[in-house]
Structure 1
Amino acid sequence: MLYAAVLAAGLHAWLVGIGDTRLPVFLGGMAALFALEFVRHDLVALLGRVALIVAVVWADGSGLSRVLFALLPFTAYFAFGRTAGIALGAACLAGVATTLQLRSPGWTSDSEQVSDLLMLTLAIALAVAMAAVAVEERQGRARIAALSAAAERQRLARDLHDDLGHHLTAVIVLLEKVEAFGERDPQAAQRALADATRSARRALADVRTAVRTWDFHLGAALRELCTDTVVLRFAGDESRYPEPVLRTLFHAAQEAITNARRHAGDGVVEVCAELGPDRALLTVTDTGPGFAPDREGFGLRGMRQRVRGVGGDIEVRAAGSSGTRIAVTVPR
């Protein structure tokens, strides 16, 4: 846009005879400046702009092309930093003032010349400020990318704990059952072995699924998660809620079931998911012995972080023989 404005002003000055416009040099310099936008070497681009802008200003009879000097500190700020940008901006102003002094020794008494220099000073100051904002925005994007990478690593760690931990815990429990009932009840041992095989295959499927994008449905995932020993009650329309919320509810149920299998023994586990118009509520209860509140492990801490990440709340009640109840609430 700046090149177009300067080109239009220079052509107008040449057509109506304002000043002394050297058209071939002016047009060639403008074309070269435009072509220089595709040069990626910082120093070459900066030196080329300096030479070409000086040539264009010399050939332009309108005087508007002086505004091109504002591009130099802008470019230098990006390529070489704040100090270089400010120094080159000051050098441009000093060069213009020196040229005016050599051409018109009494220019300081000419209000138009003084006004032009003040406007150029303002343009250079704005260019430096814009470059500073743009550089800060670029650095902010880099910081956000680093934070996103860290958050993704933490998410992957939680996923490994929740998904693989759940299945591997089930496999261990079932294999212990095979060992315990191998001689006394071969049929029960065989069923436990078959369940362990299925859990291992699910773990492998989860690993494969984790590396590709797939459509997530909370109801189907919960039904697959809840085996014969876990009662599931599911109600509501999951299309009301975004996928991160649904995944958070699933992982919360997964972690709660894993804890119940680890600590509640043969107690009853019940999962209830209600996806209402105002809130999503997931409760997982068991009839095990419960645990002390200060004994929360990595799984529950990770669950709390997940739930807070989607704007929800979690309540854990684990008191004595009344068992454990985990309730996750996420507003719509």
Structure 2
Amino acid sequence: MQTFGRPVLGRRQVLTKAVWIGIWLVFLASPVRDLVMTGRSAAATALGALGLAAFVACYLTLVFRYTTRMLDRRAVYVSFAAQLTLAVVLALGFGTDWLGLFVYVSVSAGAVLPMRYATWTIPAVTAVMVVVGLRTDGLRDLLGNLAVLSVLVGFAMAGVRQLVRTTIQLRQARATVAQLAANEERLRLARDLHDLLGHSLSLITLKSELAGRMLPDHPGQAARQVADIEQVSRQALVDVREAVSGYRRRTLAGELAGARTALAAAGIEADVPLEPPAELPGEEAEAALAWALREAVTNVVRHSGARRCTVAFTARKTLDGPLLELSVQDDGVGGSGTAAGNGLTGLGERVEAVGGILETDPGPHHGFRLTVRVPLAAAPTTPG
């Protein structure tokens, strides 16, 4: 599922797709058996083998290259017309054992033709098969079965093709949304920096010019202007540091969106809330939960080999006060939960700094579970 709807890259993926498509060529056993077992002349057998090889080449070219997208419309139509012509000629020339070729023509129509064409081409191919088969008596039951099979597999392949192309469009849309979000964030950063520094830098420039004009005749007034410049500069530095801290702070909403994207990209079924819980802890505790979610999902994607990952939030009331619990559980290879890596060690220190608790253990059945609990209310301070 990780490569569903993606272009085939690398020798391994090419071989995998070729094997998957080649499996269905087993239904060509009837024409092959007819060639081998029927006592025809050597010339007729050679022509039949050559025609069957050309038919298979057309089929593999269409299904292997053009299912994802129609790279060359003319090549698609020419290959499809050649495949249909070969099916008709071979079935007329060699007999009823070759009628199954029309099923492959229907599959090709569903795999590569636009839907508006496939909806009538598949029934038309089936009708041609019936017309060719009716010239032989006693084939009505076989023709009926082949006609149903041709229509069903043709439209099934059209549905698969549409699913593949929809998946590609969704991936492209996701990439576009991510790019737009990045552009919007850059614009926001530029706008905030302008708002933060524009006034301060203008004031510094103005006071610097005043101080320069007051020297050397009015050194006292120039010193006051320099002092003002220092004060404005310090305040601008504080504002910039606060703004940068805000940009760096992780939020649960952002990490939930990132978790869904990362798990989907890895082909892992994600059971992740769309929004964080309504009641959230303070900024520092929320940031710790966000870091925990990111670390847990990263470990699931990289190391677990899981097929499913579940993220859940639970509000709990304890004697020490209300807590918010984050649980990330997968069904992968699991772990003992006794040895923490550098990532989990640093995460545990971050959670402890906000008064929380980090726990790791095997899942109820298999897999791995990470649990983080942080206080919903700020810890009371002891008056000095």
Question: Structure 2-normalised TM-score?
Answer: 0.44
Instruction: Kindly indicate whether residue 72 of structure 2 is the aligned counterpart of residue 41 of structure 1.
Output: yes
- Measured against aligned partners, the alpha-carbon deviations of 1:208-266 in whole angstroms (never above 9, x if no partner) come to xxxxxxxxxxxxxx89726xxx9xxx9xxx99989x67xxxxxxxxxxxxxxxxxxxxx
Instruction: Kindly indicate whether residue 132 of structure 2 is the aligned counterpart of residue 96 of structure 1.
Output: no
Displacement of 1:122: 0.9
Question: What is the distance in 1 between the residues matched to 2:250 and 2:39?
Answer: 69
Pairs within 5 Å for 1:177-192: 177-178=207-208, 183=214, 184-190=220-226
Amino acid at match of 2:186: L
Of 196, 200, 207, 1:166 maps to 196
Change in Cα spacing, 1:66 to 1:196, as seen in structure 2 (3 Å) is farther
Instruction: Kindly indicate whether residue 37 of structure 2 is the aligned counterpart of residue 17 of structure 1.
Output: yes
**8 Å contact 2:200–2:233 — kept in the other structure?**
no
The answer for the alignment partner of 2:113 in structure 1 is 76
The answer for the alignment partner of 2:53 in structure 1 is 27
Displacement of 1:121: 1.3
Instruction: Kindly indicate whether residue 131 of structure 2 is the aligned counterpart of residue 129 of structure 1.
Output: no
Question: Structure 1-normalised TM-score?
Answer: 0.50
**8 Å contact 1:13–1:19 — kept in the other structure?**
no
Change in Cα spacing, 1:274 to 1:50, as seen in structure 2 (3 Å) is same
The answer for the alignment partner of 1:51 in structure 2 is 82
Structure 1 unmatched ranges of 5 or more: 203-221, 246-271, 281-330
Change in Cα spacing, 1:68 to 1:8, as seen in structure 2 (3 Å) is closer
Q: Provide the aligned length of Structure 1 versus Structure 2.
A: 221
Mean Cα deviation higher: 44-53 or 147-156? 147-156
Change in Cα spacing, 1:143 to 1:224, as seen in structure 2 (3 Å) is closer
Of 78, 85, 106, 2:118 maps to 85
Change in Cα spacing, 1:68 to 1:19, as seen in structure 2 (3 Å) is farther
Amino acid at match of 1:83: R
Amino acid at match of 2:37: G
For the aligned residue pairs, the C-alpha RMSD in angstroms reads 4.7
Displacement of 1:179: 6.0
Displacement of 1:180: 6.7
Question: What is the distance in 2 between the residues matched to 1:123 and 1:152?
Answer: 43
Displacement of 1:144: 3.8
Question: What is the distance in 1 between the residues matched to 2:249 and 2:158?
Answer: 49
Question: What is the distance in 2 between the residues matched to 1:92 and 1:126?
Answer: 15
**8 Å contact 1:23–1:59 — kept in the other structure?**
no
Amino acid at match of 1:72: A
Identity %: 12
Of 135, 144, 150, 1:120 maps to 150
Displacement of 1:74: 2.5
Question: What is the distance in 2 between the residues matched to 1:134 and 1:119?
Answer: 22
Amino acid at match of 2:192: D
Change in Cα spacing, 1:65 to 1:3, as seen in structure 2 (3 Å) is farther
**8 Å contact 1:19–1:62 — kept in the other structure?**
no
Change in Cα spacing, 1:62 to 1:115, as seen in structure 2 (3 Å) is same
Amino acid at match of 2:136: S
3-state DSSP of counterpart to 1:137: helix
